Every structure is written in structure tokens, then in C-alpha cells.
């Protein structure tokens, strides 16, 4: 690999310190990106030395040999020209900026001639709705070709994606059963013990639906429902994902019937007393931001028509689970005399730690006519890099497989748009659940 440069716009921010630099450090430690130049830029009055300390703290000592800091307003074209002028070889520009600043920085880049090979790396949220995402896409399309745009979904690390694809398409056993003929429902649940954790500035404007369902969980749905790609190259893989998402819509025309929203009240979690979301510093309770969202979708294809896909994510949930669960239909007939087959068969794919579980009924110990539920489990191998290491590896290798394609980013906003509109209009009540509980009682999930 030849010389290249990573330019981080927003070098003094939280994402850079907490996720991006540690991911970069882990990637560089593998020796896969020799000759990298790192440039950090923000408005803070830092010097090279201060930035180097930040890099060393997050990345580890001596991992990055060439790095410098540029004090700049990244919405100013001349400042951007100066930053790009300091790059060696093709540059990847990482927008670790508030979304509104990212949009203005992209507008400013239109005034420059970007060198051949420039890549743009954009964070979530990508726009705030379908129209904003389309407008941002239109600007990006004037800057670089689509395959050089990386819309980051760090949730979809390579190992998680490959775990699901490997399970489905490198085995004979499961895939023939994954259709409406045998599957009763699919749930993708990503509940977290974490509460707001001082991120009101971002989260209170986003909420659980935009933060998790519209972005990450629809991507998981696409992996679970897609047809087998012939190869794993970016074009084919992203086409197959887009096919699923184009066929995905709300389960019911009424948002009240196919969505739930809720926010946590004060409670106790893991021995910690948590304040109500509405009382957290920086939260404007009148905005009515949800900390838990549930939406039910249909994937209107021959394979999946009639199977509900229930997606849910919530904050401050006790005994939280992070998994996709495929629940199978009951056997067409169970012979008279066998008892205890109350639980349907389930295939569970756990996220973090990534693991597989298959729940089914067998003749257990004791009475041979009495069936007992058992679980076969296996661990998926962990990835060799943290999520942002995987994101950056894709960027440096010019491989957009794991990044979200422009049309898909727009489409995911459009899928949830009727619910967002109904929630804004107050047509679906904002329920409450105590922090540390399992979420609101009125849930759309089939299993607790
Ligand atoms: P922060 O507010 O912590 O950091 C923003 C950075 O942008 C700061 O370095 C700020 O420095 C810089 N900045 C803002 N305006 C300008 C400007 N005009 N010129 C130059 N620099 C500017 O935000 P986060 O790091 O939390 O988030 C960044 C992005 O990452 C957002 O899109 C967010 O949604 C996304 N994200 C964040 C995650 C997280 O855990 N933090 C997780 C996933 C995504 P200064 O104002 O001093 O110039």
C-alpha cells in the first residue's frame, strides 16, 4: 500500500477520542497501513504537540509516526484547501463533526478540486429524513464517485456481517427453513443498559428510532432477509441488501398499530439510581424524545410475505438483550401422547458477544413422553479489530462493502417516515417505563 493520509475533521471531539483513534490504533498495530499520515483539524487552539498527546493516549505510543494538527474552520473552503495541501498521497476525509457542520463542510468542498483518490467518510445520522439525506447525497455525488463514499455503520462490523452470512449461506441446515413457510416471526432487539450518558446534545434531537432502528437495525434486517449474493464484492452484496430494503414497509398502514414509543422514568439499574430521561441535563422534555422504539415491518417478497419483522431498541433496560431471534412455526402435527412442546423452535443470533443459540424440544430425562426445551449454543469468533478499526480498514482498502450505499440511506428514512410523522403529530402515545425495567408493558414483541 502506498502513502495515504487520514484527515479527521473534528479532531477534538468525543467520537475521535473514544472510538476513532482507538480503532485506528488497533488497525495500525496490525501493520496493515504502513505510511499513513494523520491530520487532525478542529477550531480548538491546539498545537501539534497537544494533538500528538491525544493520539498517543488513544492510539498508543509510537503507532502513528507522521501526524499534525491544523486549526481550522472546516466550513471555510480556504481552510480546507490548506488541510488537503498537507496530505501525502490520496486522502480519506473523516467527518467527525456535528451533522449540520458536516453538510456545510461538504458544501465548502465543492469550491475545491478534490485530488484523485479522495474518499469521504460520513458518520450517522446521515441526514435527518429522506429529503435531507437526498440533498446530502446530491452534494457528495458532485465531489467523488459513490464507491469512494463511506457512510459508516460501525454496528455492522465485518465479523457480525460475516457471521450472519456464513450461518445462512455456508450451511445446508438453516437456509431452507428461512421463509414464510416455516418462520412465524423475526425479532431484532438491541436493548441497552446504558442510559443517556451525557449525550443529550445529540440524542435528544434523534431518539431511539432515528438512532437505532432507521440505521442499524434495518441493516440487520436486510442481512437476515437478503437472498444469497453470488460473491461478497461490494456491488453485489449491497444490491442484495437494497433489494430487501426496497421491499420493506410498515406492517400495518396505521402507525399506531405497528409502532410503540416510550421513555424511561427514574429507576434503578445495576445498583445505580438513574434519573428520569426528562430530568437529565440538556434534555428538553417538551420535545417528547423516545428512549425506546418498536416498529413492525413486512418484507414484501415471495420468500417473506406474511412474516412480521419486529425491531426494537431501548435505553436503560434491565437484563437487556441484544439479539436477532427467528421463531419458527409449530410443527404441523405433534403425535398424541407427546406432551410439553410448548415452546416454539427458535434460532438466536446474539450481538456482543456474538453467539448462536438454537432452542428446540427433545425427549429429556425422566418420562420419555415428556418433551423438554434445550438450547444448542456456539460462540462466533470475535473479530480481530474493534468496529472503527474495521470501518477504517474498509476505507484504506477502498472497499465500501460495509458502508451504506446512498440510495439505501435515503430509503431507510423513507421506510420509517410514516411513523415519524405520526409520532410528531402525537398520534401514538409516548409510553413510560422505569429505568432498569424490561420496557413498557404494552410491547409489540412476541416474547418478553
Ligand atoms: P463532538 O461535539 O464531541 O465533536 C465535534 C467536533 O467537531 C469537535 O472537535 C469540534 O471542535 C468540531 N467542530 C465543530 N464545528 C467545527 C468547525 N466549524 N470547524 C472545525 N471543527 C469543528 O461530537 P461527536 O464527536 O460526539 O460526534 C461527531 C459525529 O459522530 C456526529 O455526527 C455524531 O452523530 C457521530 N457519532 C458520534 C458517536 C459518539 O459516541 N460520540 C457515536 C456514533 C456517531 P471545535 O468546536 O472546537 O472546533
DSSP 358-395: EEEEEE-SS-TTBEEEEEEEEEPPPPSS-HHHHHHHHH
- Whether residues 213 and 349 share a domain: the answer is yes
- Whether residues 116 and 191 share a domain: the answer is no
Domains in the chain: how many in total? 2
The CA 292 to ligand 1 mean position distance, Å, reads 24
Cell numbers that stand for 308 in this block:
412480521
pLDDT at 158 over 90: no
Please give the DSSP secondary-structure letter assigned to residue 345.
Answer: P
Last residue of a domain, one of 72, 106, 123: 123
Respond yes or no: is residue 216 known to be catalytic. yes
- Whether residues 321 and 418 share a domain: the answer is yes
Are 448 and 286 in contact by the 8 Å Cβ rule? The answer is no
The CA 64 to ligand 1 mean position distance, Å, reads 22
Q: Best substitution site from 7, 22, 198, 202 to test ligand 1's pocket, by max atoms within 8 Å of Cβ?
A: 202
Are 435 and 269 in contact by the 8 Å Cβ rule? The answer is yes
Please give the DSSP secondary-structure letter assigned to residue 339.
Answer: B
Are 412 and 245 in contact by the 8 Å Cβ rule? The answer is yes
Among 102-116, 174-188, 273-287, 377-391, the minimum mean pLDDT is found in 377-391
Question: 43: Cβ below 6 Å to ligand 1?
Answer: yes
Q: How confident is the model at residue 1 (pLDDT cuts 50, 70, 90)?
A: low
Q: How big is the chain by its Cα radius of gyration, in Å?
A: 23
The CA 401 to ligand 1 mean position distance, Å, reads 25
**Does residue 211 form part of some domain?**
yes
Instruction: Count helices and strands (H / E) in the chain.
Output: 13, 18
**Does residue 134 form part of some domain?**
no
- Whether residues 244 and 393 share a domain: the answer is yes
**Does residue 445 form part of some domain?**
no
Atom of ligand 1 nearest to the CA of 44: 47
Percentage of residues in the chain with pLDDT exceeding 70? 99
Question: 73: Cβ below 6 Å to ligand 1?
Answer: yes
Q: Quick one: which H or E segment has residue 22?
A: helix 21-29
Question: 21: Cβ below 6 Å to ligand 1?
Answer: no
Residue bearing the CA closest to ligand 1, atom 18: 73
- Whether residues 248 and 375 share a domain: the answer is yes
- Whether residues 218 and 355 share a domain: the answer is yes
Cell numbers that stand for 198 in this block:
451525557
Last residue of a domain, one of 106, 123, 140: 123
CA 305-308-313 angle, to 5 degrees, is: 140
- Whether residues 93 and 174 share a domain: the answer is no
Atom of ligand 1 nearest to the CA of 102: 32
Q: Write a three-state SS string for 90-150.
A: CEEEEECCCHHHHHHHHHHHCCCCCCCCCEEEECCCCCCCHHHHHHHHHHHHHHCCHHHEE
Question: 165: Cβ below 6 Å to ligand 1?
Answer: no
**Does residue 33 form part of some domain?**
yes
Other Cβ atoms less than 10 A from the Cβ of 178: the count is 19
Other Cβ atoms less than 10 A from the Cβ of 37: the count is 19
Are 321 and 349 in contact by the 8 Å Cβ rule? The answer is no
pLDDT score, position 236: 96
The CA 351 to ligand 1 mean position distance, Å, reads 27
Distance (Å, rounded) from C-alpha 80 to C-alpha 47? Answer: 17
Cell numbers that stand for 410 in this block:
435515503
Tell me which residue range forms the domain holding 42: 4-123
- Whether residues 253 and 303 share a domain: the answer is yes
- Whether residues 171 and 309 share a domain: the answer is yes
Please give the DSSP secondary-structure letter assigned to residue 279.
Answer: G
Question: 15: Cβ below 6 Å to ligand 1?
Answer: yes
Phi, psi of 108 (to 5 degrees): -65, -35
Q: Is the Cα dihedral 286, 291, 296, 300 positive or negative? A: positive
Last residue of a domain, one of 123, 148, 168: 123
**Does residue 102 form part of some domain?**
yes
The pLDDT of 152-172, averaged and rounded, is: 88
Question: Which CATH number goes with the domain that contains 59?
Answer: 3.40.50.720
Question: 108: Cβ below 6 Å to ligand 1?
Answer: no
Distance (Å, rounded) from C-alpha 66 to C-alpha 38? Answer: 6
- Whether residues 203 and 90 share a domain: the answer is no
Distance (Å, rounded) from C-alpha 217 to C-alpha 292? Answer: 13
CA quadruple 7, 9, 11, 12: dihedral, nearest 10: 170
> What is the tens place of the pLDDT at every residue in 231-268?
999 999 999 999 999 999 999 999 999 999 999 999 99
> Among 137, 17, 70, which residue's Cα sits nearest to residue 410?
137
Catalytic residue among 150, 154, 182, 216: 216
Q: How confident is the model at residue 61 (pLDDT cuts 50, 70, 90)?
A: confident
Are 87 and 37 in contact by the 8 Å Cβ rule? The answer is yes
- Whether residues 411 and 277 share a domain: the answer is yes
> What is the tens place of the pLDDT at every residue in 21-47?
999 999 999 988 888 999 999 999 999
**Does residue 144 form part of some domain?**
no
Residue bearing the CA closest to ligand 1, atom 10: 10
pLDDT at 129 over 60: yes
Question: 13: Cβ below 6 Å to ligand 1?
Answer: yes
Question: 10: Cβ below 6 Å to ligand 1?
Answer: yes
Cell numbers that stand for 83 in this block:
488541510
Atom of ligand 1 nearest to the CA of 125: 34
Question: 83: Cβ below 6 Å to ligand 1?
Answer: no
**Does residue 403 form part of some domain?**
yes
Provide the mean pLDDT of the chain: 94
Distance (Å, rounded) from C-alpha 32 to C-alpha 397? Answer: 10
Question: Which CATH number goes with the domain that contains 376?
Answer: 3.30.360.10
Distance of CA 298 to the CA centre of its chain: 20
- Whether residues 91 and 239 share a domain: the answer is no
Percentage of residues in the chain with pLDDT exceeding 90? 83
> What is the tens place of the pLDDT at every residue in 321-372?
999 999 999 999 988 999 887 899 999 999 988 899 999 999 888 888 899 9
Atom of ligand 1 nearest to the CA of 16: 25
The pLDDT of 50-65, averaged and rounded, is: 84
Amino acid at each position: 500500500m502506498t502513502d495515504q493520509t487520514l484527515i479527521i475533521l473534528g479532531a477534538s471531539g468525543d467520537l475521535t477520542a473514544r472510538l476513532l483513534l482507538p480503532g485506528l490504533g488497533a488497525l495500525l498495530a496490525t501493520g496493515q497501513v504502513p505510511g499513513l499520515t494523520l491530520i487532525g483539524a478542529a477550531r480548538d487552539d491546539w498545537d501539534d504537540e497537544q494533538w500528538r498527546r491525544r493520539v498517543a493516549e488513544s492510539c498508543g505510543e509510537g503507532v502513528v509516526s507522521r501526524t499534525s494538527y491544523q486549526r481550522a474552520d472546516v466550513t471555510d473552503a480556504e481552510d480546507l484547501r490548506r488541510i488537503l495541501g498537507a496530505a501525502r498521497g490520496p486522502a480519506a476525509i473523516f467527518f467527525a463533526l456535528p451533522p449540520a457542520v458536516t453538510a456545510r463542510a461538504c458544501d465548502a468542498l465543492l469550491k475545491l478540486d478534490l485530488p484523485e483518490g479522495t474518499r469521504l467518510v460520513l458518520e450517522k445520522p446521515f441526514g435527518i429524513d429522506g429529503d435531507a439525506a437526498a440533498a446530502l447525497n446530491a452534494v457528495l455525488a458532485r465531489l467523488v464517485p459513490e464507491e469512494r463514499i463511506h457512510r459508516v455503520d460501525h454496528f455492522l462490523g465485518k465479523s457480525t456481517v460475516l457471521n450472519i452470512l456464513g450461518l445462512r449461506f455456508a450451511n445446508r441446515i438453516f437456509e431452507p427453513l428461512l421463509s414464510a413457510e416455516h418462520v412465524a416471526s423475526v425479532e431484532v432487539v438491541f436493548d441497552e443498559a446504558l442510559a443517556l450518558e451525557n449525550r443529550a446534545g445529540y440524542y435528544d434531537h434523534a431518539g431511539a428510532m432515528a438512532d437505532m432502528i432507521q440505521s442499524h437495525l434495518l441493516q440487520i434486517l436486510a442481512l437476515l432477509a437478503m437472498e444469497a449474493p453470488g460473491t461478497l464484492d461490494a456491488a453485489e452484496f449491497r444490491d442484495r441488501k437494497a433489494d430487501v430494503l426496497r421491499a420493506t414497509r410498515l406492517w400495518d398502514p396505521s402507525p399506531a398499530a405497528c409502532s410503540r414509543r416510550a421513555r424511561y422514568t427514574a429507576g434503578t439499574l445495576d445498583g445505580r439510581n438513574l434519573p428520569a430521561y426528562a430530568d437529565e441535563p440538556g434534555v428538553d422534555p417538551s420535545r417528547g424524545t423516545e428512549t425506546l422504539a418498536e416498529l413492525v415491518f413486512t418484507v414484501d417478497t415471495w420468500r417473506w410475505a406474511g412474516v412480521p419483522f419486529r425491531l426494537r431498541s431501548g435505553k436503560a433496560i434491565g437484563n437487556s438483550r441484544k439479539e436477532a431471534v427467528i421463531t419458527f412455526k409449530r410443527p404441523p402435527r405433534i403425535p398424541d401422547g407427546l406432551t410439553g412442546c410448548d415452546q416454539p423452535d427458535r434460532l438466536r443470533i446474539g450481538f456482543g458477544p456474538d453467539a448462536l443459540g438454537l432452542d428446540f424440544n427433545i425427549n429429556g430425562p425422566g418420562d420419555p413422553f415428556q418433551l423438554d426445551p434445550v438450547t444448542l449454543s456456539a460462540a462466533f469468533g470475535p473479530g480481530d479489530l474493534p468496529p472503527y478499526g474495521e470501518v477504517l480498514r474498509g476505507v484504506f482498502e477502498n472497499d465500501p462493502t460495509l458502508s451504506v450505499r446512498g440510495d439505501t440511506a435515503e430509503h431507510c428514512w423513507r421506510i420509517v417516515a410514516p411513523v415519524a410523522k405520526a409520532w410528531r403529530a402525537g398520534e401514538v402515545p409516548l409510553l413510560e417505563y422505569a429505568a432498569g425495567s424490561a420496557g413498557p408493558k404494552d410491547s409489540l414483541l412476541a416474547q418478553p
